[in-house]
Amino acid sequence: MQIYKYKDYDAASNAAANLVIQEIIKKPNMILGLATGVSPIGLYQNLVKAYENDIISFKKIKTFNLDEYVGINNDHPQSYHYFMNHYLFDYVDILPENINIPATDKKNIEELAEEYNIKLFGNQRDLQILGIGKNGHIGFNEPGSQLGGQTYKVKLDEQTRKDNSRYFNSIDEVPKYAITMGIKNIMYSKKILLIALGESKAEAVYKMVHGIVSDDFPASILQLHPDITIIVDEAAASKLNMKSDHLVF
Ligand code: PGA
């Protein structure tokens, strides 16, 4: 694990974007795994700027998002389809047919999950962007998820629903289910970039790096990935006891 610490959200977002930009320049037709949440917003804003400045193009890039809620429409402001359009896709030259986000709009959710899973195995991600939940979730792989799991319909953890309720009018509106890439799908990417920002993630970052690898804390599996970069701000790094701004673990 390569861990890089930056002063604050903006500096970390810049650094994360630079890494993604370098990868796109190296491989303009890369397959890119995307995440939603507050953590990658600054990264996406920097990618949009890089596109506007003609540094990168998304024309040949294919994307795969980690997850999507079940029970809200794609045009709901809290859906991840909406999020991705709002923060990235509407502002760059990505081709709509190259965008992949789990579909959850039909009755048979298990079938939709299986279709997405098949696509994922045919499209190994060159780079997967990840956030981390306070409870150690990656994607919506909550504590107790199978470490070898593939794309599936997941019942959301109460902690996750509580964390995400700030975006809805009340906790009752927060969906109870989602489709998520499984941990096996996430591990099946050549490179991972995980972004963790803010004091509320400090404990989770510590457990991801130093904890026992276990399904009790899904992000701990990332210790076994051969090429993972973790970008943190000072607040999220506060329990790591980093003596310099770069730690290899
Ligand atoms: P956040 O979510 O970026 O909004 O903190 C990350 C996650 O829950 O995976």
Centre of ligand 1 to C-alpha 132, Å, is 6
Ligand 1 atom showing the smallest separation from residue 137 Cα: 9
Predicted pLDDT of residue 222? 98
- Read out DSSP for 172-202? GGS-SEEEE--HHHHHSBS-EEEEE-SGGGH
Domain ranges of the chain: 20-234
Centre of ligand 1 to C-alpha 60, Å, is 28
- Of 11-20, 79-88, 163-172, the range with the lowest mean pLDDT is 163-172
pLDDT at 241 over 90: no
Q: Please indicate whether residue 198, judged by its CB atom, sits closer than 6 Å to ligand 1.
A: no
| pLDDT digit string, tens, across residues 133-176 | 999 999 999 999 999 999 999 999 898 899 899 999 999 999 99
- Whether 142 is a known active-site residue: answer yes
Three-class DSSP category at 120: helix
Question: How far is Cα 40 from Cα 195, in angstroms, rounded to an integer?
Answer: 7
Residue range 20-234, CATH number: 3.40.50.1360
Q: Please indicate whether residue 139, judged by its CB atom, sits closer than 6 Å to ligand 1.
A: no
Q: How many helices (H) and strands (E) does the chain have?
A: 7, 11
Crossing angle of helices 9-26 and 41-52, in 10° steps, is: 50
pLDDT at 237 over 90: yes
| pLDDT digit string, tens, across residues 48-68 | 999 999 999 999 999 999 999
Q: Please indicate whether residue 38, judged by its CB atom, sits closer than 6 Å to ligand 1.
A: yes
Predicted pLDDT of residue 106? 82
Q: Which amino acid is located at 78 in the chain?
A: Q
Mean pLDDT of 65-92: 97
| pLDDT digit string, tens, across residues 177-223 | 999 999 999 999 999 999 999 999 999 999 999 999 999 999 999 99
Predicted pLDDT of residue 107? 80
Crossing angle of helices 41-52 and 80-87, in 10° steps, is: 40
Predicted pLDDT of residue 175? 97
| pLDDT digit string, tens, across residues 108-124 | 999 999 999 999 999 99
What pTM value is reported for the model?
A: 0.97
